[in-house]
Chains A and B, each alone.
Chain A
Amino acid sequence: AQSVTQLGSHVSVSEGALVLLRCNYSSSVPPYLFWYVQYPNQGLQLLLKYTSAATLVKGINGFEAEFKKSETSFHLTKPSAHMSDAAEYFCAVRPGGSQGNLIFGKGTKLSVKP
């Protein structure tokens, strides 16, 4: 069965520091991978998606993620954190084929200290 594991339910960084949010997946077929962000009291917003076109994917707000098949990982990074990045981040996998729903990780809450 497909699954997503996000290491660390809470991550805290200082403003200007590197952001690294970890995501590992398991899938029996080449997956489609996503990162979503949820700001307080809002729905989920797509940050970026991996569709096999390129292993390094750039998203909105300066975020990017790299697909590493050998490590079954899709970690999210941003070189310099901003206070406005404080939110909860969810990694998700769509296994491919006919199955349409996404399987989400439990989320990582990012705090940014001034």
Chain B
Amino acid sequence: GAGVSQSPSNKVTEKGKDVELRCDPISGHTALYWYRQSLGQGLEFLIYFQGNSAPDKSGLPSDRFSAERTGGSVSTLTIQRTQQEDSAVYLCASSLRAGGSGANVLTFGAGSRLTVL
């Protein structure tokens, strides 16, 4: 597509439930990133995928968080047993590639706002 598409745009859930957030990157972009934006905390890196390489999961805050990317395109971020502190905006971005010698530009989606009651 023309841009990075994320769904749902808003999700309200109860504590303890599982949620799935979806990201559809720009066609042809091999790298995909997930960030979490909390009030006053800036953007916190969660995970990124580059092609068929093993993802960099170094930013995932706990084992309740996981992500997968199917067919090198669409990605799903899953949060199990949600807690109130998981409430945030989850941003997805994609780029032509990750790493290397170039300043690869990340293009962001509008985000999925998660509220855990």
Residues of A within 8 A of B (CB): 9, 32, 34, 36, 41-46, 49-51, 90, 92, 94, 96-107
Which chain B residue lies CB-closest to A50? Answer: B103
Which chain B residue lies CB-closest to A42? Answer: B110
Which chain B residue lies CB-closest to A45? Answer: B108
Which one, B42, B104, B108, B110, contacts A106 given CB within 8 A?
Answer: B42
Given A42-B110, A49-B103, answer yes or no on A106-B45 (Cβ-Cβ < 8 Å). no
Contact A102 B102 (CB under 8 A): no
Which of B14-22, B67-75, B79-87, B91-99 sits within the interface? B91-99
- In the assembled complex, 18 residue pairs joining A and B whose CB atoms fall closer than 8 Å, in A order, are A34-B103, A36-B108, A43-B111, A46-B106, A51-B102, A51-B103, A90-B43, A94-B103, A96-B101, A98-B99, A99-B98, A99-B99, A100-B99, A100-B100, A101-B45, A101-B56, A101-B98, A104-B35
For the complex, give the distance between the alpha carbons of A66 and B84 in Å.
40
B100 contact set on A, CB distance < 8 A? 98, 100
For the complex, give the distance between the alpha carbons of A96 and B31 in Å.
15
Given A51-B103, A100-B56, A101-B56, answer yes or no on A90-B31 (Cβ-Cβ < 8 Å). no
Contact A90 B106 (CB under 8 A): no
B35 contact set on A, CB distance < 8 A? 104
Given A43-B91, A43-B110, A44-B108, answer yes or no on A97-B42 (Cβ-Cβ < 8 Å). no
Q: Does B1 contact A (CB under 8 A)?
A: no
